Amino acid sequence: MARYETIDRLFWFAASLGFAAALLLIWEGAVHAGLVRPLFFPAPSRIWAALVHGVVDGSMLSDTVVTVSRTLGGWLAASLVGAALGALIGLSRRANAYLGSTLEALRPLPPASLVPIFVAVFGYSEQMVMAIIAFGALWPCLLSTVSGFRAVEPRLYEVARVLGMGRPSVLFRIALPSALPEIFAGMRVGLTVSLILVVVGEMLGSRPGLGLSILLAQRSFQSPDLFAGIAVLGLIGFLTATLLNAVESRLLFWR
């Protein structure tokens, strides 16, 4: 059975690669046939050349390192705060009463709408970019954590009382393991949001990174460099999501 599942996965993986390759070939052919203006949609071969050039001269690698570090830093901060607040609200009715309405008022605010406030507080600095990322990535993790803790089977708490378990034991042995799947679901969404907002922050704050390099390429009509930056962002999103899924599978092995 496991062998057939492996073959099935390999088949669909190969099929997806083949589909992507076919799209790139069609794109390349359309550019060379004059059906698409290369100024706006350069041929994939030119995008690849721009990507290789950026890697060789080091500019692409340095921008990638800066963007990834910002993304992970803001995401980790948002995940830690969101998980802690979510656990507090999900486990305590009093905390929910005190914090629930305030958080519900803040949650719908688009992070971009708070940029003037972040600029006034932090200036056009690294802290401003991190604040944008952390604010936007906070909510998926917080809401998922609240949902996860509230969904814990009440009978488990009753069993814990019968066994005389203290609050720390109930939290770490019953509530947290039950809520972890929801927490990781929120962290996955928050990671995607972080990658989106780091680009926005780098563009608005003129901070070095892939976001600024894409903006400068657009302003100078260097479309191969622009698409190369977008391709690297897509690769970052794919790799980080894959790593997070691997960590989740390791930690939630009982699922």
Instruction: Report the percentage of the chain scoring pLDDT > 70.
Output: 96
Residue type, 42: P
pLDDT at position 81 is 94
Q: What is the rounded distance in angstroms from the CA atom of residue 79 to the CA atom of residue 104?
A: 18
The hierarchical CATH code for the domain 40-251 is 1.10.3720.10
pLDDT at position 3 is 62
Quick check: 67 and 236 in contact, CB under 8 A?
yes
Quick check: 180 and 252 in contact, CB under 8 A?
yes
Q: What is the rounded distance in angstroms from the CA atom of residue 72 to the CA atom of residue 69?
A: 5
- pLDDT at 218 exceeding the cut of 70: yes
Residue type, 139: W
pLDDT at position 2 is 54
Cα dihedral 55, 57, 58, 64 sign: negative
User: How many C-beta neighbours within 10 Å does residue 166 have?
Assistant: 8
Q: Which two tokens stand for residue 162?
A: 């019968």
pLDDT at position 255 is 62
Residue in 207, 209, 152 with CA at minimum distance from that of residue 180: 152
| Mean pLDDT of the 205-219 span | 89
pLDDT at position 250 is 85
Distances (CA, A) of 186 to 72, 77, 86, 176: 15, 14, 11, 14
Instruction: Name the 3-class secondary structure at 125.
Output: coil
| Mean pLDDT of the 21-36 span | 86
| Mean pLDDT of the 130-148 span | 91
Number of Cα atoms under 13 Å in the Cβ half of residue 225: 19
* pLDDT one-digit tens code per residue, 54-89: 999 988 999 999 999 999 999 999 999 999 998 888
- pLDDT at 5 exceeding the cut of 70: no
Distances (CA, A) of 217 to 45, 147, 179, 199, 223: 17, 42, 44, 14, 6
- Would you place residue 233 in the very low, low, confident or very high pLDDT band (cuts 50, 70, 90)? very high
Q: Which two tokens stand for residue 216?
A: 């400068």
In total, the chain counts a number of residues equal to: 255
- pLDDT at 1 exceeding the cut of 60: no
Contacts of 87 (CB under 8 A, 6+ apart): 145, 149, 171, 175, 176, 179
Residue with more model confidence, 243 or 10: 243
DSSP states of 178-232: HHHHHHHHHHHHHHHHHHHHHHHHHHHHT-SSHHHHHHHHHHTT-HHHHHHHHHH
The H or E element spanning position 52 is helix 44-57
Distances (CA, A) of 205 to 111, 199, 200: 14, 10, 8
* pLDDT one-digit tens code per residue, 152-208: 887 877 777 777 777 777 778 888 888 888 999 999 999 999 999 999 888 888 788
Residue in 76, 108, 65 with CA at minimum distance from that of residue 190: 76
